Structure 1
């Protein structure tokens, strides 16, 4: 009803499962749950090494569930609004990722004839050049690539719409070589498949593991490794090229300009002053 993406629903469901497993050890009925239990659970997450940002995300997901549970009479009606995550400082969720030089080095490290490289290189390109999300790459289908007109059609889970990109020669050639030389003929319509049996599309989590492993191999020095780190690198590169945050937001498939504002925090040392960019109404 809230228009949440399938990824968000899956992630919030995971948070709820974690809480229920933790609460289940107390051998108490769900109707007895109280805010002290939720506070204790979030505190335990911190004790296990979760960051404040991660704990705050868990609190958001749990708040959504308990708001619904309250309307159903499964628990007290005021619990949801009492769930508070930790304070998040202004710069704490500053995105971080590899430099564009490191992205180029990463892609160069996969310029081989090995089957794994022929599959993984176009995946990394879709993250770094197009700034796609893991879910968007996982769900990309063969019919989403228009070879005749050199276009890629991307299904956006957050906006529940579709977006068309030009198929750049480098990305197109990498995808084509994977399809012709590596990808087995099968009934699956998803573009990227696993190598291990049983043959199946690579999942969102599988893409995270693949990207993290790939970024470790050339020794890329960034605190975050994964598809979102490459998405960040794409955004920063576009800022460095002088695109406005509105244009970057359109490229990344953001539903609102607020989602792109975080890139105004990025250190653009050695480049034009931030004030020289068209920030699309940002203050």
Structure 2
């Protein structure tokens, strides 16, 4: 391995005779196999050599992230990388932790969640018995986990939770700026969790019904998203040769034109694109089944351009991958960051900046184009027509017709 990276015999000997040479070779071979560039692997070899020399007094590599950080941050520079540069320190820490984690030796910090086993029981039941989507279960887990972390320090068992405890937690959230919708979502998660707990016998069976829920008025809000001219401006700015722009343009087109959810774009696989019939097979997150869309030429060309010039070939079947090694599928948070960054960089005004705002922009545009709510609901993948009714409030021409209705003799 080292002979392939370095031409000078002295450099090969220095890397080969340094501590943990076998462990470094294993990791560098892995990096080559997954598609890292020559210069990237060479840079990592230098960084790992520097780290290995500072770990040579240890019998093994069982270290924590804090111990790795102390090697980089607490040591004055004598030779090697420029430790006075923050970017260099971050790179060294990241490469060291990734290497040691690959070897299975990094002692990861474990977040202790009070009553975490109960939360795991509920999540498994919600998945297997109720058939809730992964996104819904993740949202419930986050909300319940925050409550358990707040309740745990009180030193009482889960069976002793009272409605007043939950009132106190919700008051704590309101003091931190929670909106009524946030409080309502938290209450929904806690009700589901404690209802399951009552059935299992590890909490009061009446606790779930005693949790007060704030009143949320049906269709009280408007769909919030950028205007369609802003969406067009956003897509136009990404028509460049930069790899990030090529990939992000295809992603944003799926959000804005097909109104896909984050999870639907993240889970889009190569086999879901039927190039022969120009169709997209989208596995709808809430409908639980696939929905077929015609593949528009503009979207198809954007995806083809990304697949041919940017995407790295590998074992992953998901369409959209990260741009740097390790090349892995984009996460939901990664997709959120892409949309948020692109909107804010153009100073596009929107109440929200995640992928869902582009979904709302698409729905609003379909209303202005004169499509029926049924057609819009089908395009958005809604299970119920009630979910689409909110878009009736942005149909200003239709509302003006209602307002201008002539009552004739009754006027």
TM-score of the pair, normalised by structure 1: 0.93
Contact 1:130 1:234 (C-alpha < 8 Å) held by counterparts: yes
Superposition deviation, residue 274 in structure 1: 6.7
Deviation of the 1:76 alpha carbon: 0.7
What is the alpha-carbon distance in structure 1 between the residues aligned to residue 401 and residue 274 of structure 2? Answer: 39
Higher helix share: 2
Could you tell me which of 339, 357, 363 is aligned with 1:229?
A: 357
Offset at 1:214?
A: 1.0
Work out whether residues 109 and 218 of structure 1, in 8 Å CA contact, stay in contact via their aligned partners in 2: no
Task: Give 2:346's aligned residue.
Answer: 218
**2:368 match:** 240
The aligned residue for residue 4 of structure 1 is 132
> Is 1:169 paired with 2:297?
yes
Contact 1:264 1:274 in 2 (8 A): no
CA 1:274/1:79 → structure 2, altered by over 3 Å: closer, same or farther? Answer: farther
- Compute the displacement of 1:30 (Å): 0.9
Q: What is residue 279 of structure 2 aligned with on the other side?
A: 151
Following TM superposition, by how much is the alpha carbon of 1:131 offset from its aligned partner in structure 2, in angstroms?
Answer: 0.4
1:87 corresponds to 2:187: no
Cα separation, partners in 2 of 1:259 and 1:111, compared to 1, 3 Å: same
Provide, for residues 104-142 of structure 1, a one-character-per-residue CA deviation record: whole Å limited to 9, x for no partner. Answer: 011111111111000000110101000000000000000
- 2:74 aligned residue: none
Write the deviation string for residues 51-102 of structure 1: whole angstroms up to 9, x where unpaired.
1111111111111111111111111111101112222245643220001111
Match of 2:76 in 1: none
Q: Does 1:59 align with 2:184?
A: no
Pair 1:47 & 2:175 matched? yes
Q: For 1:105 and 1:43, how far apart are their aligned partners in 2?
A: 42
Say whether residues 1:20 and 2:143 are aligned partners: no
**Aligned to 2:276, what secondary structure does the other structure show?**
coil
Matched, 1:127 2:260: no
Distance 1:215 1:2 in 2: 37
Distance 1:85 1:196, change over 3 A: farther
Cα distance change on mapping 1:9 and 1:218 into 2, 3 Å: same
**Aligned-partner Cα distance in 1 for 2:316–2:332:** 16
In the comparison of the two structures, how many residue pairs are matched?
274
Partners of 1:132 and 1:145 in 2: how far apart?
15
* Alignment partner, residue 311 of structure 2: 183
Q: Report if the CA contact (8 A) 1:53-1:93 is conserved.
A: no
- 1:279 — aligned with what? none
Which region of structure 1 is more displaced relative to structure 2, 87-96 or 73-82?
87-96
1:2 deviates by: 3.0
Q: Quick one: distance in 1 between partners of 2:336 and 2:145?
A: 21
1:78 to 2:206 alignment: yes
User: Structure 2 CA distance, aligned partners of 1:174 and 1:184?
Assistant: 16
Q: Does 1:200 align with 2:321?
A: no
- Matching residue within 383, 401, 409 for 1:255: 383
Higher relative contact order (CA 8 A, sep 6+): 1
1:113 corresponds to 2:278 = no
Unaligned runs of 5+ in 1: 277-283
Query: In structure 2, what is the Cα distance between the partners aligned to 1:100 and 1:274?
Result: 21
Structure 1 or 2, whichever has the larger Rg, is 2
TM-score (normalised: structure 2): 0.65
Partner of 1:281: none
